[in-house]
């Protein structure tokens, strides 16, 4: 059957009275048409760079980096989550143990993280990608400034650092000090940027097949250009989430049944939250992982508040598989891959029987090509959902407030922490 998006478990036939009817979907044609039209108008106006970059020549993203033993990506949010998601999705969670090139990711301003990375890598043998669209993100700059000083002490060369940015202090430093710089197109927003220079330059250095990644996205783009909602998985996905949000499903859980996809859920969490959480609207994304979260979250999904819609991602083929042998036990003779996928099916059926709407994305394999398809489908889903909700999915104005206060604190223009003792209980 190939790869597919299945939505039968949100329909009345499977879900019962909580489900949607075909008339419900047909009755929303004006909403889906509007979301489609507005998205394409934005694209025509040149606002949706993420739809353009997948057609760029990928040759421009390659770098001669063969001498480096370590790769360190420094960035925050949309400037790092996608890179980490693709790297782990393609290479697996223990890639560093198996590869000569060891890859590390540095985002937080937690000094212990930087400290622990510095204990493992040798900066003289490290290629550092500093990624920031604005070039002014405080965590990224702080980490970079510390690394820069350490590198200077060690006499590292200029070609140890590659800057991916479209402005700010970071780009200024890059230009002044002669680092190699890759631009980020102005119309590409952080969390939608993994298939631009932001993701493709570092990923190509990590030996990820970026051509296949982009080709998956291009093929998905063709599918997402279909105007008819019943033929367009991103438009349908957005519509279903929109309809159920209006029916009180304020939480959207993404639950793949494959360890390599866990970072995808974290990438999705940012995409869904930061794009849609505006003007009192939005849907809270939750990252889950099967089968293990069946022993952690599932009780709540089945029997807790009826405020969730779940999306499963199931992959048919695993890179390694094992036959379980234990005579007399019901596991005997089954493969591990069968087990995990039957666990997914069991969960799906239990949720459906309880009236919890759920969707499935089923992939034959997880590789660069299918991951590219998945990424693009979610980017388009988010764009369509933004139009349905009537919010601008491509800005993040509320985040600026906390940044402004932090800066005032750092510059001594605001009072530091004050603890009202009457409301403190010592622990
Ligand atoms: O999606 C977004 O726009 C944000 O998450 C940004 O990527 C994040 O704040 C980092 O910004 P910058 O790339 O400017 O450093």
Verify that 193 and 125 share a domain, yes or no: yes
Residue 394 is assigned to a structural domain of this protein: no
Q: What is the pLDDT of residue 66?
A: 64
Is 23 considered catalytic here? no
Indicate the pLDDT class of residue 121, thresholds 50, 70 and 90: very high
Specify which residues 369 forms β-bridges with.
none
Indicate the pLDDT class of residue 67, thresholds 50, 70 and 90: confident
Total structural domains within the chain: 2
Residue 352 is assigned to a structural domain of this protein: yes
Residue 403 is assigned to a structural domain of this protein: no
Alpha-carbon dihedral angle through residues 187, 191, 196, 201, given to the nearest 10 degrees: 140
Verify that 165 and 257 share a domain, yes or no: no
Residue 410 is assigned to a structural domain of this protein: no
Six-digit token string for 26: 């047909």
Q: What is the pLDDT of residue 290?
A: 98
Verify that 353 and 260 share a domain, yes or no: yes
Last residue of one domain, picked from the residues 178, 208, 238: 208
Residue 23 is assigned to a structural domain of this protein: yes
Atom of ligand 1 nearest to the CA of 396: 3
pLDDT tens, position by position, 187-215: 999 999 999 999 999 999 999 999 999 99
Q: For residue 397, is pLDDT > 90?
A: no
Helix (H) or strand (E) run with residue 24 in it = helix 22-26
Atom of ligand 1 nearest to the CA of 76: 10
**Is 80 close to ligand 1, i.e. is its CB under 6 Å away?**
no
- The single residue listed with the structure tokens 């000569």 is 100
Residue 197 is assigned to a structural domain of this protein: yes
Verify that 150 and 23 share a domain, yes or no: no
Q: For residue 422, is pLDDT > 80?
A: yes
Q: Could you say which DSSP state residue 101 is in?
A: S
**Is 193 close to ligand 1, i.e. is its CB under 6 Å away?**
no
Q: What is the pLDDT of residue 1?
A: 85
Verify that 363 and 239 share a domain, yes or no: yes
Mean pLDDT estimate for the chain? 96
Six-digit token string for 322: 């094992």
Residue 252's CATH number: 3.40.50.10490
**Is 78 close to ligand 1, i.e. is its CB under 6 Å away?**
yes
Indicate the pLDDT class of residue 63, thresholds 50, 70 and 90: confident
Residues constituting the chain: 427
Q: In 155-282, which ranges are continuous DSSP H helix?
A: 168-177, 197-205, 210-224, 233-246, 262-276
Whole-Å CA distances, 39 to 36, 135, 385? 5, 28, 10
Six-digit token string for 117: 């990375």
Whole-Å CA distances, 139 to 104, 403, 404? 16, 11, 14
For the chain, percent of residues with pLDDT exceeding 70: 100
User: How far is ligand 1, taken at its centre, from the CA of residue 184, in Å?
Assistant: 12
User: How far is ligand 1, taken at its centre, from the CA of residue 163, in Å?
Assistant: 15
Q: What is the pLDDT of residue 86?
A: 98
pLDDT tens, position by position, 262-292: 999 999 999 999 999 999 999 999 999 999 9
Atom of ligand 1 nearest to the CA of 80: 7
Is 115 considered catalytic here? no
* Ligand 1 site-directed mutation target among 84, 133, 184, 393, most atoms within 8 Å of CB: 133
Verify that 248 and 293 share a domain, yes or no: yes
Angle between helices 81-91 and 197-205 (to 10 degrees): 40
Last residue of one domain, picked from the residues 208, 242, 270: 208
Verify that 58 and 158 share a domain, yes or no: yes
Indicate the pLDDT class of residue 399, thresholds 50, 70 and 90: confident
Q: What is the pLDDT of residue 65?
A: 61
Residue 9 is assigned to a structural domain of this protein: yes
Six-digit token string for 94: 């223990």
User: How far is ligand 1, taken at its centre, from the CA of residue 133, in Å?
Assistant: 7
**Is 165 close to ligand 1, i.e. is its CB under 6 Å away?**
no
Is 295 considered catalytic here? yes
User: How far is ligand 1, taken at its centre, from the CA of residue 131, in Å?
Assistant: 9
* Candidate list 119, 157, 295, 426, residue with the active-site label: 295
Indicate the pLDDT class of residue 402, thresholds 50, 70 and 90: confident
For the chain, percent of residues with pLDDT exceeding 90: 93
Helix (H) or strand (E) run with residue 162 in it = strand 161-165
Give me the domain span that covers residue 226.
4-40+213-389
Question: In a 3-state reduction of DSSP, which class is residue 100?
Answer: coil
Residue 420 is assigned to a structural domain of this protein: no
Q: Which of 17-21, 63-67, 97-101 has the lowest mean pLDDT?
A: 63-67
Whole-Å CA distances, 382 to 172, 211, 261, 277? 33, 24, 19, 11
* Ligand 1 site-directed mutation target among 79, 165, 401, most atoms within 8 Å of CB: 79
């Amino acid at each position: 059957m190939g790869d597919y998006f299945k939505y039968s478990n949100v329909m009345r036939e499977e879900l019962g009275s909580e489900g949607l009817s075909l008339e419900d979907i047909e009755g929303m044609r004006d909403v889906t048409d509007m979301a489609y039209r507005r998205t394409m108008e934005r694209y025509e106006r040149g606002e949706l760079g993420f739809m353009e970059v997948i057609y760029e020549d990928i040759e421009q993203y390659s770098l001669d980096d063969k001498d480096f033993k370590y790769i360190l990506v420094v960035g925050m949010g949309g400037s790092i989550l996608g890179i980490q998601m693709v790297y782990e999705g393609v290479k697996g969670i223990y890639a560093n143990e198996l590869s000569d090139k060891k890859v590390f990711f540095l985002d937080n301003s937690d000094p212990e993280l930087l400290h622990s990375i510095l204990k493992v890598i040798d900066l003289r043998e490290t290629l550092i990608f500093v990624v920031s669209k604005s070039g002014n993100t405080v965590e990224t700059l702080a980490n970079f400034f510390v690394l820069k000083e350490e590198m200077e002490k060690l006499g590292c060369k200029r070609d140890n650092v590659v800057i991916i940015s479209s402005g700010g202090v970071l780009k200024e430093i890059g230009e002044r000090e002669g680092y190699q710089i890759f631009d980020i197109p102005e119309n590409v927003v952080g969390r939608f940027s993994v298939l631009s220079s932001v993701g493709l330059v570092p990923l190509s250095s990590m030996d990820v097949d970026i051509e296949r990644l982009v080709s998956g996205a291009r093929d998905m783009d063709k599918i997402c250009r279909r105007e008819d909602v019943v033929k367009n998985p991103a438009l349908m996905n957005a519509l279903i989430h929109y309809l159920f949000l209006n029916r009180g499903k304020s939480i959207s859980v993404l639950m793949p049944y494959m360890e390599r996809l866990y970072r995808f859920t974290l990438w999705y969490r940012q995409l869904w939250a930061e794009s849609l959480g505006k003007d009192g609207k939005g849907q809270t994304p939750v990252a889950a992982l099967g089968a293990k979260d069946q022993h952690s979250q599932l009780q709540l999904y089945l029997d807790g508040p009826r405020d969730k819609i779940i999306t499963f991602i199931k992959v048919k083929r695993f890179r390694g598989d094992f036959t379980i042998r234990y005579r007399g036990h019901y596991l005997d003779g089954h493969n591990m891959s069968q087990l995990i996928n039957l666990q997914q099916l069991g969960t799906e059926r239990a949720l459906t029987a309880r009236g919890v709407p759920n969707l499935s994305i089923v992939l034959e394999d997880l590789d660069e090509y299918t991951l590219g398809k998945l990424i693009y489908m979610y980017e388009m889903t988010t764009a369509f959902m933004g139009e349905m909700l009537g919010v601008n999915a491509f800005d993040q104005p509320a985040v600026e407030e906390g940044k402004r206060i932090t800066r005032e604190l750092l510059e001594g223009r605001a009072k530091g922490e004050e603890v009202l003792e009457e409301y403190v209980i010592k622990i």
